[in-house]
Amino acid sequence: MGRLEGKVAVITGGSGGIGLAAARRFVAEGARVMLVDLDAEALSRAVADLGEATAFAVADVTDPAASEAYVAAAEQRFGGVDILLANAGIEGTVKSIVEQDVATFDAVMAVNVRGVWLGLKYAMPAMKRRGGGSVVITSSTAGIRASAGVSPYITSKHATIGLMRSAALEGAADGIRVNTVNPSPTETRMMRSLEDGFFPGDGQVAHDRIARSIPLGRYGQPEDVANLMCFLASDEARFITGAVYMVDGGISAG
């Protein structure tokens, strides 16, 4: 028996990076998984790789109808929803507050905050119908710290922690637990984009400087984050809700 045997998980941002690593771990632990993303081709490849325990829904997480539909699709395909991994996120651009454009701020907040809120809005009733469940929200070390040049992203990740705490209080009576996982820089597409933003044309410089700032001396791997997500999704974490979990190589200790 796997840690997630018999459970149904919905993973937004599920076609790559941390989302795909989590999907792979969840399936290995016995879950059936609905992957949600905008990239149909990448989703199709992921499902082909992960096998018959998975399915996918192409959806814009900022759209209420699409969010309601991906939850309904999971219920229809797998019989319910026990786990929501609200993982979809975008980084925006590296610019000062003064130089940053309003459209970028709005886009980052829409995906990173509105998308999580909509996931909660439609998944929590589905979990209630199953007698409870677990929501894991991907925040970031940016949710408890700050960096110059990425104010929309910083703002959004702080906001997800506040949203998590409200949801944890609201969901407790229905047996729904809600927590955030806060990764440090992790080896994903998003970090390649941010590195290039910090050091245009020489992102490796940014990568090396950031890695040296992490006490364990390296970026996280997507699997490092997925391991923690799996624990929080499982019944082993049945008394854990409303909490912020760092998976950051010690960067938040200083």
Catalytic site includes residue 153? yes
| Six-digit token string for 193 | 């984009």
Task: Give the active site residue among 70, 122, 153, 245.
Answer: 153
What gap in Å lies between CA 233 and CA 228, rounded to an integer?
Answer: 9
Q: How many CB atoms lie within 10 A of CB 48?
A: 9
Q: How many CB atoms lie within 10 A of CB 89?
A: 26
Residues with a catalytic annotation lie at: 153
